[in-house]
């Protein structure tokens, strides 16, 4: 089935260029020039992935994510002309799966799109269900529950949790986890993992400040606690 990609940016030349590459790669493309248009288009089209500029008139990318992403798990790739780490951190904390800094090569963006869609799709892993302590992860149905309570995770959070749960007690470095959830290596930075872990703890931990499931191994990385 053809995947629908929503491209949101107020630079029409960029939207046209990205749209052309996506179409040539077999995707259906929907476009919007600001956050308000994007909100309407996203609700109407229910896209499989959103490529979202941060700085836009009417409604910026951050506000769009706050309004549209509540209760949803649509993958988002942020486009940003800013290189400050804080800008990327804000987007990731709001649930973005990846980011691309302008200017970028269209083929790089297409590779990122395919990688994120692979993470959000159904896979054929060795174990379809992972169950450790009170946490149950079902790869086939792409669901996670904690003590019977279902939680919504972004594709990156889901894959990060799956990696950690696949080997309880094993310590994964940030670079290990970054490679695992990105699938392809570009300019990903290891701080990304810290943000995803923070978001994941907020969703699955009874007390995120005193994590029971995802433990920090200082100077090394993270591990999922043994039962």
User: Which CATH number is 129-224's, of 1.10.760.10, 1.10.10.10, 3.10.20.30, 3.90.650.10?
Assistant: 1.10.10.10
Q: Which residue has the tokens 């052309």?
A: 20
Sketch the domain layout of the chain as residue ranges: 4-120, 129-224
The model's pLDDT over 8-47, given as tens digits with 9 standing for 90+, comes to 999 999 999 999 999 988 899 999 999 899 999 999 999 9
* C-beta of residue 214 within 8 angstroms of C-beta of residue 168: no
**169: DSSP letter:** T
Task: State which H helix or E strand residue 110 sits in.
Answer: helix 106-120
Instruction: State mean pLDDT over 165-170.
Output: 89
Instruction: State mean pLDDT over 48-76.
Output: 86
Q: Tell me the sheet residues that pair with 214.
A: 224
Q: What local confidence, expressed as pLDDT, does residue 145 receive?
A: 95
- 3-state SS of 65-107 is HHHHCCCCCCCEEEEECCCCHHHHHHHHHCCCCEEEECCCCHH
Distance CA 39, CA 125 (A): 34
Distance CA 210, CA 150 (A): 21
The model's pLDDT over 131-152, given as tens digits with 9 standing for 90+, comes to 998 999 998 888 999 999 999 9
* C-beta of residue 61 within 8 angstroms of C-beta of residue 52: yes
Q: The whole model's pTM is what?
A: 0.61
Tokens read off for 16:
């046209």
Q: What local confidence, expressed as pLDDT, does residue 124 receive?
A: 36
Q: Note the CATH number of domain 4-120.
A: 3.40.50.2300
CA angle in degrees (0–180, nearest 5) for 212-216-221: 140
Q: In whole angstroms, how far apart are CA 116 and each of 49, 70, 78, 151, 162?
A: 8, 19, 12, 20, 15
Q: What local confidence, expressed as pLDDT, does residue 144 receive?
A: 95
DSSP-derived secondary structure for 22-79: HHHTT-EEEEESSHHHHHHHHHHH--SEEEEESS-SSS-HHHHHHHHSTT----EEEE
């Amino acid at each position: 089935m053809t995947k629908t990609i929503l491209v949101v940016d107020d630079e029409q030349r960029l939207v046209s260029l990205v749209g052309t590459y996506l179409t040539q790669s077999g995707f259906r493309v929907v476009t919007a020039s600001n956050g308000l248009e994007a909100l309407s288009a996203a609700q109407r089209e229910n896209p499989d992935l959103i490529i979202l500029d941060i700085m836009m008139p009417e409604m910026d990318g951050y506000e769009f994510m706050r309004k549209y992403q509540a209760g949803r798990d649509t993958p988002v790739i942020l486009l940003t002309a800013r290189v400050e780490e804080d800008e990327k951190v804000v987007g990731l904390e709001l649930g973005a799966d990846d980011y691309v800094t302008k200017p970028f090569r269209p083929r790089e963006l297409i590779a990122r799109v395919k990688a994120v869609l692979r993470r959000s799709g159904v896979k054929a892993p060795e174990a379809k269900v992972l169950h450790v302590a009170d946490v149950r992860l079902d790869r086939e149905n792409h669901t996670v529950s904690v003590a019977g309570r279902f939680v919504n995770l972004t594709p990156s959070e889901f894959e990060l949790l799956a990696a950690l749960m696949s080997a309880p007690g094993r310590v994964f470095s940030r670079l290990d986890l970054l490679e695992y959830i990105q699938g392809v290596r570009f300019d990903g930075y290891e701080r990304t993992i810290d943000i995803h872990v923070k978001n994941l703890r907020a969703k699955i931990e009874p007390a995120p400040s005193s994590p029971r499931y995802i433990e920090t191994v200082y100077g090394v990385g993270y591990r999922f606690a043994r039962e």
